[in-house]
């Protein structure tokens, strides 16, 4: 893969990892929850979810969309 493709997939992977961590922190009420507070953490989770879903690679991947959807369901 060329450098641009590797960079894009790295960004997607890091985004998914951070999104999962933010939801964990929200559940545990620690780390980012303590730094940003519940409202800001929820806002960032929503914003980052939308960013990830906008990637064409994510839109084409049923597995990635399911992974992001699973993470969103953890919020309830």
Can you tell me the mean pLDDT for 21-49?
Answer: 97
Model pTM score: 0.91
The candidate with the shortest Cα–Cα distance to 20, out of 76, 58, 67, is 67
Can you tell me the mean pLDDT for 47-76?
Answer: 96
7 versus 76: the higher-pLDDT residue is 7
Mean pLDDT estimate for the chain: 97
Return d(Cα 35, Cα 4) in angstroms, integer.
33
pLDDT of residue 76: 84
Return d(Cα 26, Cα 53) in angstroms, integer.
21
């Amino acid at each position: 893969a060329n450098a641009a493709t590797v960079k894009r997939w790295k960004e997607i992977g890091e985004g998914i990892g951070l999104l999962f961590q933010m939801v964990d922190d929200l559940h545990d009420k620690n780390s980012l929850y303590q730094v940003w507070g519940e409202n800001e953490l929820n806002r960032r989770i929503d914003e980052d979810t939308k960013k990830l879903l906008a990637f064409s690679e994510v839109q084409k991947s049923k597995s990635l969309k399911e992974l992001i959807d699973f993470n969103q369901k953890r919020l309830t």
